[in-house]
A and B are shown apart, each in its own frame.
Chain A
Amino acid sequence: MKNRVVILGASGFIGRRVVQAVSRLDGVQAVAVSRHASAVPFAPGVEVADADVSTAEALEGAVSGAAGIVNCIAGSPDLIVAASKRLFDAAARMPSPPRVVHMSSLAAYGSVTGRIDESLVLRGDSDAYSAAKAETDRLASNYRNGVALRPGIVYGPGSGWWSDRIARLLVRGRLGDLGDRGRGFCNLVYVDDVADAVVRALNLEEGRLGPFNLSLSIPITWNDYFAQYGAALGVPPRSVSGLRLAVETRVLAPPLKLLEILLRTPGLARANPLPPLRPWLPAMCSHDIRMDVTRAERILGMHWTPLSTGLRMTADWFLAGGRTVH
């Protein structure tokens, strides 16, 4: 009989790639669980279950008999915390506690600066999301068969913020070289590398568990990311002045955000031509934070998709009118 690996939050951007990677493993039955999993065209052979794991019964039902669980649950901070708590409780009560690979985030570190490795205390002090990520990351560490993965900025086909939104801003000339404001490191990781890390974490021997940072090992600044992504999209490079950035984030962002919310209502155009440039983006682009991925390379044996390869695939997806997954 095949080992069941249950992916929670399977229809999300990362969840889908994880399902795909897990379904290719020999002797493993991938089980894709999310509220609307049956609406997603998963590969043949994947077992699909529609379940709202924010309720205890649904969650326990979904994970019973699993040899491995991948937690990609997304949603509001409260939901992430509540669902993850139930998940780790349920897993601990199972006869043989399954391996749980928990999708944490760079956000869990919060306001830390400089080079960060996994030994740093998670501050989780940036916002509610950051706090939720830090709290659930700790749940994973306290669970005896848990592995937390802390990806940086996950980009790739399907990524709403980091690939689609950035591409639209680049194409419209609203984003580019930010000068000093763009000199922070952008800890990019390609979505397939995250899925690969999940597979490796599922197979990791006990005793070597623990959290892993996931990011390109040769870091790139936000300015360089915008320049290289722009090049892949065929956009001439452009500088964005401080004044323009201030106008974008302080004056234009609120009405554009409102427009975005309005356009989301059914019956209106799906693709918003004018995405807002959120105020936190410039702050993030100058934040000096660099992930140390030595542990992921040594213990998980990670190899990272070269940036040009990842950006090419992302740009091709975007230029072909690719859809994002939330």
Chain B
Amino acid sequence: MIVTSDELTDEMAADVAVCIVGGGAAGITLACELDECGHKVLLLEAGSLKPSAETQDYYNGIAHAPHPAANEFRRVALGGTTSIWGGRCVPFDPIDFEPRDYVSNSGWPISYEEIARYYPRALEYCDAGKFDFTAAGSISGGGPTIAGLEPNDVIERDLIERYSLPTDFGRRYGGILRMSRNVITVLRARCIGLEKAVGEDRIEAVKIAAASGRSRVIRSAFVVLAMGGIECARLLMASDPRGVGYGNRTDRLGRFYASHLETSFGRLVPHGAKVAFDFEKTDDGVYCRRKFQFLPSAQRRHRLLNTAFRLHFPEYSDASHGSSVMSAIYLAKSFLIPEYQNILQQDPAHATSSPAPAHWRNVMSGLPNLARFGFDWVFKRHLATRKLPYTLVPNADGSYPLEFNCEQTPLESSRITLADDLDAHGMRRVRIDWRRSDSDLLAAQRAFLLLRETLGQSGACRLEFDDGVLVERLSRSAPVGGHHIGTTRMAFSSSGGVVDTNCAIFDFPNVCIASSSVFPTGSHANPTLTIVAVALRLASHLRTRLSSE
């Protein structure tokens, strides 16, 4: 059943076995998995069915460029940020779980298989087809990414990323929540504190602020925090009256905050060979795109971070791309939500911004293309259930900029803390102090140089870039919006992190975290698919614990 916090009766709030805080991708997945588990489950969502300015204000805080503003790329509503996500589904790789001597603080305390066994079901939740990320296994007759690029011992050539509908978890799974007999979903129920049992290492209740402004306390045997990589740490910090932060005995809470580094650089020039640039559909009807990665052996040999490269489109702002579609989008950018405007202007300092007349010339000279794009936009995106993820326009000269995406080395100094400002419920707002290691720039530089060398030797294509500006450009690569990783990292013991291998907080074994905040490292992969996999794994752990108690 779904109720609002003001409709929540004492009877509904009594004898709660599991209280899930946060109704986004992780919380909804967990709630669906615990449907009919024989125990009462409360799913608390701070927002309503749709985002509103009032609830969105909870996320305001302090952040500095190039990091996006604190309330961007996340949404307060049932379904959470899945109401605006792009839908890219990519699994982590086995190497992400290994401790690598050249990446400090790397290594997960669990194996790849422990997560990978949940990927097929996570892909189902995301409506992204089967667990196969090779072009050969997913697209019959798809051909190579770059024709003539032979196998070598450096790059994996023909990998794909799959795209969700993108599935809005609130809409897609709202029906299950509405119908459930044991899961009560409570909207406008913002959790503003965790209450510790006196003299015990246990959280006995959560405190919520209801829509009416009244606060109330809900007791629960287990609590799952599923509010995302920033809010989970914030709630643990804000709940502790001593000011230390719950789960922070060893000062790991809020630290190791990482995103993904992303930039677009260089020109890949195919030597007349055919290139699979645009979106394709897999045999199971899912949109997908090609990407390159380095083989694990090459990563170890060259001390590389786990990196993905995609063929990219030219900069919107630079009218020399000659595309009427891109110029039209650029001219109309003020109609887009801020998150998408950011994406259009990836590198404002360096991008060539052509004057508006140059863009208008493109628009006027390419009206047929623009009309075709308009048609596609209406029928393949706006009206479509499975949406074309985004617009890909190749460069007029046949070359492709390269989009680079890699993990960050986890840094203790990159962290979330509390600011002094209070929000409407008296909770301290967040301060985001995102940092990146200089060694990541060197690793990224090695990655570009190695890729250029490998592609150059292949004869199928070449990669061109200006060595002189490479590091400088990399140093301005932006942290990808919405990827909040590491603030309650998983570890073998409390000296290394905040949660154990079952995602339970070391200091409070009855509190678990389902979020990308438990990821010790972030891979190159967008986090949502792995967040869902982590939630599925936690669901099976909780079912075992519930049946044994």
Contacts and interface: CB of A to CB of B under 8 A. Distances in A.
A318 interface: no
4 closest pairs, A vs B, by CB?
A312-B285, A309-B284, A231-B385, A231-B386
Given A114-B181, A183-B175, A311-B285, 18 more contacts: A115-B179, A219-B175, A227-B385, A228-B385, A228-B386, A231-B165, A231-B285, A232-B386, A236-B383, A236-B384, A237-B383, A288-B179, A290-B179, A306-B129, A308-B128, A308-B284, A309-B285, A312-B285
A118 to B, nearest CB: 13
Contacts of A237: 383-385
B179 A185 contact: yes
Contacts, number: 70
A230 interface: yes
A309 B128 CA distance: 9
B100 interface: no
B36 interface: yes
B68 to A, nearest CB: 31
B309 interface: no
A312 B129 CA distance: 10
9 contacts: A218-B124, A224-B172, A228-B386, A237-B384, A292-B36, A308-B128, A308-B286, A309-B129, A309-B285
A182 to B, nearest CB: 10
Nearest to B180: A115
Range of interface residues on B (Cβ < 8 Å): 20 to 34
B93 interface: no
Contact of A232 (B128, B175, B176, B285): B285
Contacts of A114: 179, 181
Which of B128, B130, B286, B384: most chain A Cβ within 10 A? Answer: B384
Contacts of A313: 284
A224 B176 CA distance: 12
Contact of B127 (A219, A228, A315): A228
A307 interface: yes
B285 A308 contact: yes
A221 interface: yes
B465 interface: no
Contacts of A227: 385
Interface in A179-203: 183, 185
A64 B127 CA distance: 46
A307 B120 CA distance: 12
Contacts of B129: 306, 308-309, 312
Nearest to B379: A236
A237 to B, nearest CB: 5
B532 to A, nearest CB: 11
Judged by DSSP, the binding face of B is: loop
A307 B124 contact: yes
B32 interface: yes
A115 B123 contact: no
A224 B172 CA distance: 7
Given A218-B32, A236-B379, A230 B285 contact: no
Nearest to A312: B285
Nearest to B123: A306
B173 to A, nearest CB: 8
Contacts of A311: 285
Contacts of A224: 172
Contacts of B179: 114-115, 185, 288, 290
B283 interface: yes
A272 B513 CA distance: 55
B265 interface: no
Nearest to A294: B36
A160 to B, nearest CB: 22
B33 to A, nearest CB: 9
Contacts of A306: 120, 123-124, 129-130, 284
Contacts of A236: 379, 383-384
A236 B388 CA distance: 13
A88 to B, nearest CB: 32
A185 B379 contact: no
Contacts of B286: 308
A238 to B, nearest CB: 9
A231 B284 contact: no
Interface in A278-320: 288, 290, 292, 303-304, 306-309, 311-313, 315
Nearest to A229: B385
A185 to B, nearest CB: 7
B175 A221 contact: yes
B400 interface: no
B434 interface: no
B506 interface: no
Contacts of B124: 218, 304, 306-307
Contacts of B246: none
